[in-house]
Structure 1
Amino acid sequence: MKERGKIEKLWREEKYRVLFHDQNAYHSIRTLLKSPTTLGEVKEHITHALTITPTKGSVINAFEHMWGYFKKQCTQYEKQHSRELKALYIENQIDYFELLSFLKNLADKYAVEYLQQSTILNITK
């Protein structure tokens, strides 16, 4: 695989994990990818982004981006459950692992390969 292919594969796998940590880092890497860059540079930017502690806002933002893959095909129960989980997370009654677990289950149920390959949905407690 050529270097550009490796870069695109890495970004495809890590983009929601980066967004989960910091939206500014996410946008910075997207900008970096629009010009010639190396795999090493991209890895370095991703590694730095992952050192940033996620905020409630960044977690909810990433959750909503990933939720977008399901909202048109999911059941009414799943839509309601999504809203409830989000509210519980905002109120500090559950941690973000509950949100990610819910999304992982949906990605598997609806066979959303793009999300199944995303590293964010493979994080464990």
Structure 2
Amino acid sequence: MKREIEQLWAINKYEVMMKGYSFYKQIQSLLKSAHTPAHFRHIYETIHDLKMQHFHHQDVINTLEHIWGYFKSDATDKEKQHFFQYLYKCQQLTDHTYNVFPKEVQHALAFLSTLLDTYPHRYLLQSSLFLPKNKWNLINHPDSPLSVDSFYFKKEECYGERE
């Protein structure tokens, strides 16, 4: 169960980081101390709830910069220039929160996605930011893709009552 929740976190962590860095740190802390089915279910539910939150502008900017860190040593000077132009346009936005990414953020993410095609980073390839067509709770499993919620409900029967 722990492995599946860690995979779920890996998929959603940058989106959560864009909602608020404190949320990101909260999930990290919960993962470190989790050891029962109830703990893992709580993490699942927390990620689910956070995905419904607004994006916080400064956290979006910080996350874009964080993701840029994966590419900064490989990117060409021209690519660096393009990224910082996109970032500057994002920084100029005046809204403090939003439900949907403004076009400036969409453009920055699209550019980072292009960099990801050029300089693949396995960890980023699974991020919900770059795979929006995937369900937030669908993880890779050796047999086939697995929905974490169905995994939970099957496991819950094995453990009986929730704690």
Find out whether 1:105 has 2:114 as its counterpart. Answer: yes
Match of 2:49, SS state, is: helix
Alpha-carbon offset, residue 39 of structure 1: 3.3
Taking the TM superposition and a 5 Å limit, the aligned residue runs for 1:2-81 are: 3-37=1-35, 38-81=39-82
The answer to whether the 8 Å contact 1:22/1:52 transfers is no
TM-score scaled by structure 2? 0.69
Paired residue secondary structure (1:32): helix
User: Higher strand proportion, which one?
Assistant: 2
Moved over 6 A (4+): none
RMSD over aligned Cα atoms = 1.7
User: Deviation string for 1:21-71 (max 9, x for gaps)?
Assistant: 111111100000111254321111111222221122011111011111000
Offset at 1:122?
A: 2.4
Aligned mates of 1:14, 1:85 — CA distance in 2: 23
Tell me if structure 1 keeps the 8 A contact 2:17–2:63.
yes
Structure with greater Cα Rg: 2
User: Which amino acid counterpart does residue 30 of structure 2 have in structure 1?
Assistant: L
Equivalent residue number for residue 160 of structure 2: none
Structure 1: any 5+ residue segments left out of the alignment?
A: none
Distance in 1 of aligned mates of 2:122 and 2:76: 19
- Identity rate of aligned residues, in percent? 33
Question: 1:9 offset after TM fit, Å?
Answer: 0.8
Is residue 14–residue 127 contact of structure 2 (8 Å, CA) maintained in 1? yes
Structure 2 counterpart of 1:69, which letter?
Y
The answer on whether the counterparts of 1:107 and 1:116 sit within 8 Å (CA) in structure 2 is yes
Tell me how many residue pairs correspond in the alignment.
122
Post-superposition Cα deviations, 1:67-108, rounded to whole Å, max 9, x if no partner, equal 110001110011111110011112239431111111111111
* TM-score w.r.t. length of structure 1: 0.89
Structure 2: which 5+ runs fail to align? Answer: 94-101, 134-163
CA distance in 1, matches of 2:34, 2:131: 30
